[in-house]
Structure 1
Amino acid sequence: MATRRLTDAFLLLRNNSIQNRQLLAEQELDELADDRMALVSGISLDPEAAIGVTKRSPPKWVDGVDEIQYDVGRIKQKMKELASLHDQHLNRPTLDDSSEQEHAIEITAQEITQLFHRCQRAVQALPGRARRARSDQEERLLRNVVASLAQALQELSASFRRAQSGYLRRMKNREERSQHFFDTAVPLVDDGDDNTLYDRGFTDDQLVLVEQNTLMVEEREREIRQIVQSISDLNEIFRDLGAMIVEQGTVLDRIDYNVEQSCIKTKDGLKQLHKAEQYQKKNRKMLVILILFVVIIVLIVVLISVKSR
């Protein structure tokens, strides 16, 4: 009875859940530290207390991130399986029957391509799963996560393209060597039918060899067409992910620019505060001098009145 090994999937989901809880706890701590009203309301800024006080549910897009990371892990595992199948297929004897192996390669490549398409759609749908009334910090976090996932998928798709192109190149070289062997061993004819072959004196073994060669060439052509189609699909995914990374990079550059401008304005504001503080100190001195002057005048008036009596 065949069973599925779900240990890796369980460990991946458990680790992602722990990381998400830590990430949300740090995010909530930063929000509490930045919010001055927390001091008024008496909320403690202690990490343990903050974790205990804030019990908000994580954003919906966090579940989408977990699903994408799980699919990325499946893509990596499938790519390893496909590389092993490629090596087995290319290292087999030329006349060995490998229809099951070729079918397994075809199915695995299709599964990887489908996973790439699903991950691409999931990454593009992440911003739509976020809540509308989200904070600026959550918005920046979401953009960074989308850019990181898009870049990881782009690197994986590029690696898969290289693997498929390398397999196609090795298979073509192998078929060229095999074709050269058949051309030199059996002088095939361009036109004619089986009767012509019999008339030229071919034996049954040679006819079987010719038929096997023809079937093998047709099978190789079909595999090559499938690989080319797979590479074409990956090129489309690669372009979409590249555009997404450029878009997210532009957003991040804009955020960096805004942060720099905020730092500059903060420094200018600090200078203005120092100037205001100096003015306030001078005003205090003038106020003290004025009070002393009034007191002196009062004392002089009192002294004059006392002497006049």
Structure 2
Amino acid sequence: MWRDRTNLFISFRQSYTHHPQKKNVFSGPSSNGFGEGASSLSEERRGLMSAGAYEDDGDVVIEMDLLPPRWLDIQDEVTEILSDIAAQTRKLEQLHQKHVLPGFDDDDVKKREERQIEEMTQQITRQFQNCQKAIQRIDKMVRESKHTGGISKGEETMAKNLKISLATRVGDVSSLFRKKQSAYLKKLRTLGGFSTPIDRSSTPMVSNPYTDPSLMESESDRSFSQAALSQAQQRLQHNPNETIIAQREREIEDIAQGIIELANIFQELQTMVIDQGSMLDRIDYNVERMAVDMKAADKELTVATGYQKKSVKRKIILLLILLVVGMIILLGIKLSSKKSSPASTPLPGPKSPADIPRPPRVMFARRQGTDPAMNILRRDTWDWRRRRKRRIRNLDELGLEGL
């Protein structure tokens, strides 16, 4: 097995800080002249070595200012373990298929196959536990680096992201392995003629939209295995003398116990992921909420655009209504002013021209016109005639004549 470290070497070379003006601390009369000749090194050579990068014996000293964090080694370790688990899972699946096939093999062959299946299952389970312990070491390394003060905020965030990534990968592999074990357990119970106490639901109903379906599936596997384990123990107690039944029930117990251990490991790994943030803060949930909000915002913008287009028409209609109301008001004022002005009526004449003399300037009474002065003259003339009539009437009543 080999590893490609070219990219890591390039990152170290790019992150190395060069100091071409730095003096060689080992330079002297007997330093082979390398300290004085450091400035004449080529650009490519100075990219790998500092100005005083030579010891007295001529060996080259390459300084590394930045080293990768320690928890990056855990990533390689977990990756190797997962690759081994994948290879062993394929072998175990082949053994499962061979073991459940009907045949005429003797009991020794069956027992040998059962031992191989049991040993390989236990080995895979231990490897999952090793992955879990390796992931838990990341927190320990981060705490130690915090105490020594040799970790930055960015490195701490990178450690948390690495922990979540590894826990998710291990959880996916353990979930797949647990499903295969549950299917094999069902086949064993079917071949043995045992009734299944609780059927495992392949697609559990999610009552809470914020509940992780993988956790619900893990709980389903756990409950199914526990029920199968308890039923197998009861069968052993009722029928202790039946060898075939006892052997099959012990095999079922081992598989059910392994499934329960895998469910516990998966639950702890999921707890590591959930502890880094609430399930409401998942990226997929935020993306879904953003899509819903964007659709609602698009609808609101469409409605607002329609209102803005209709506002100009509404303003024009309102202006026309105001103009019509103004014209009606002006027309009413004009008509009321015409009705308030008095009409020109002819002055009443005297009973007889002989009794009542004509007033002075009576010639103007017959003239028709709308001159205000003429109207005043007519009113004065009418008043004078009325007083004259009243005076004549009074004299007639008193019996005085000749006045």
Instruction: Look up the equivalent residue of 1:172 and give its one-letter code.
Output: R
Corresponding residue number in structure 2 for 1:221 = 249
State the one-letter code of the partner of 2:243: L
Q: Which amino acid aligns with 2:185?
A: L
Q: Report the 3-state secondary structure (helix = DSSP H, G, I; strand = E; otherwise coil) of the residue aligned with 1:58.
A: coil
CA–CA distance in 1 between the matches of 2:46 and 2:99? 60
Confirm or deny that 1:234 pairs with 2:244: no
In the alignment, which residue of structure 1 is the partner of 2:123?
A: 111
SS for the counterpart of 2:67 is coil
Alpha-carbon offset, residue 51 of structure 1: 8.1
Q: In the alignment, is the contact (CA less than 8 A) between 1:147 and 1:249 conserved in 2?
A: no
Return the match for 1:62 from 72, 83, 88.
Answer: 72
Separation in 2 of the partners of 1:228 and 1:51? 58
Give 2:197's aligned residue: none
| Alpha carbons of structure 1 residues 20 and 110: separation in structure 2 relative to 1, 3 Å | farther
1:88 alignment counterpart: 98
How far the C-alpha of 1:57 sits from its partner, in A, is: 2.7
Q: State the AA in 1 paired with 2:77.
A: E
Match of 1:137 in 2: 154
Deviations 1:62-102 (A, max 9, x none): 22222121111111111111111101111141654311111
Q: Deviations over 1:259-306 (max 9, x none)?
A: xxxxxxxxxxxxxxxxxxxxxxxxxxxxxxxxxxxxxxxxxxxxxxxx
2:113 to 90, 94, 101: 101
Q: Which residue of 2 aligns with 1:168?
A: 185
Say whether the 8 Å CA contact 1:75–1:115 is kept in structure 2.
yes
2:88 to 78, 92, 117: 78
CA–CA separation in structure 1 for the residues paired with 2:85 and 2:256: 19
Partner Cα distance (1:155, 1:21) in 2: 32
Contact 1:146 1:248 survives alignment (8 Å):
no
Write the distance in 2 (CA, Å) between the matches of 1:86 and 1:19.
Answer: 42
Change over 3 Å in CA distance of 1:250–1:217 after alignment to 2: same
RMSD across aligned positions (CA): 3.6
Residues 142/25 of structure 1: CA separation in 2 closer, same or farther (3 Å cut): farther
Provide closer, same or farther for how the CA distance between residues 66 and 50 of structure 1 changes in structure 2, counting only shifts above 3 A: farther
What secondary structure, in the 3-state scheme, does the structure 2 residue paired with 1:226 have? helix
- Find the counterpart in structure 2 of residue 248 from structure 1: 276
Identity of aligned residues (%): 30
- Cα shift at 1:25: 4.7
2: CA distance, partners of 1:74 / 1:219: 30
Flag the 1:103–1:50 CA change in 2: closer, same or farther, 3 A.
farther
Query: Which TM-score applies when normalising by structure 2?
Result: 0.42
Q: Is the 8 A contact 1:164 1:227 kept in 2?
A: yes
TM-score, normalised to structure 1, is 0.54
Structure 1's 52 and 81: CA in aligned 2 closer, same or farther, altered over 3 A?
Answer: farther
Task: Measure the CA separation in 2 of the matches of 1:217 and 1:117.
Answer: 31
Paired with 2:275 and 2:76, the residues of 1 have a C-alpha distance of 23
Which segment is superposed worse, 155-164 or 61-70?
A: 61-70
Matched, 1:125 2:125: no
Size of the alignment, in residue pairs?
194
Tell me which residue corresponds to 2:304: none
Change (3 A) 1:147 1:84: same
Query: Which amino acid in the other structure matches residue 111 of structure 1?
Result: Q
Do 1:71 and 1:115's aligned partners in 2 also have CA atoms closer than 8 Å? Answer: yes
Q: CA separation of 1:51/1:121 partners in 2, compared to 1, >3 Å: closer, same or farther?
A: farther
Structure 1, gaps ≥5 residues long: 1-9, 33-37, 42-47, 178-212, 255-309
Aligned amino acid, residue 222 of structure 1: R
1:129 Cα shift?
Answer: 2.2
Computing the radius of gyration from Cα coordinates, the structure with the larger value is: 2
Preserved CA contact (<8 Å) 1:61 1:127: no
Other structure's SS at 1:134 match = coil
Structure 2: runs of 5+ lacking an equivalent: 23-44, 51-62, 195-240, 283-403
What is aligned with 1:268?
none
Closer, same or farther: CA 214–115 of 1 in aligned 2, 3 Å: same
* Equivalent residue for 1:146, pick from 136, 155, 163: 163
How far, CA to CA, are the matches of 1:57 and 1:82 in structure 2? 40
